[in-house]
Amino acid sequence: MPLTPATLTQLLPGLLPSAPVALLAELEGPLERLELKAQLQQAKARVVASGQLRRENERNQLRVRVEASDVDLAQLLPDVPPTRIALLANADLDAGEAGSKGHYRVVSQESLIAGQAVPPTIVEGELGLPEQEPLYTKGTLTLAEPGANTRV
């Protein structure tokens, strides 16, 4: 179902799309075993997401995977240079009586910002929200810059 730029701006006021966006989303299954599939397309940009939500014995588990290609943020946001973003992201979250804990990994390769190549990039780590304690996250950023690999 195509969403016009005006409709999308009404739904998400921070966005100012310059072209229609097609969105398809499906939820299937009982609440204890819910499956999610979604696709978003705008011009050449394509984002595909899938996930599962499981509930068993007062414990919730969420798994999500997102694959994006040719995403041009300039077609969605004001004052942003042209981009061509390609990435793969995976995340999981387990929540129970003792709190929540999860992991994430985002890998970007062959992306461009303002016509400049972005080195292959990996962001990965874990996050947690233990019961009665503040949210925490710890992770690493790896940039595979030729001749100057960086890991923080």
At 90-144, the pLDDT tens digits run 999 999 988 999 999 999 998 999 999 999 999 999 999 988 888 999 999 999 9
Q: State pTM to two decimals.
A: 0.87
Cα–Cα distance list, 47 to 23, 125, 139 (Å): 10, 22, 25
Q: What is the mean pLDDT of residues 47-61?
A: 94
At 1-24, the pLDDT tens digits run 677 888 888 888 888 888 888 989
Cα–Cα distance list, 67 to 3, 15, 75, 86, 130 (Å): 21, 21, 18, 8, 29
The H or E element spanning position 12 is: none
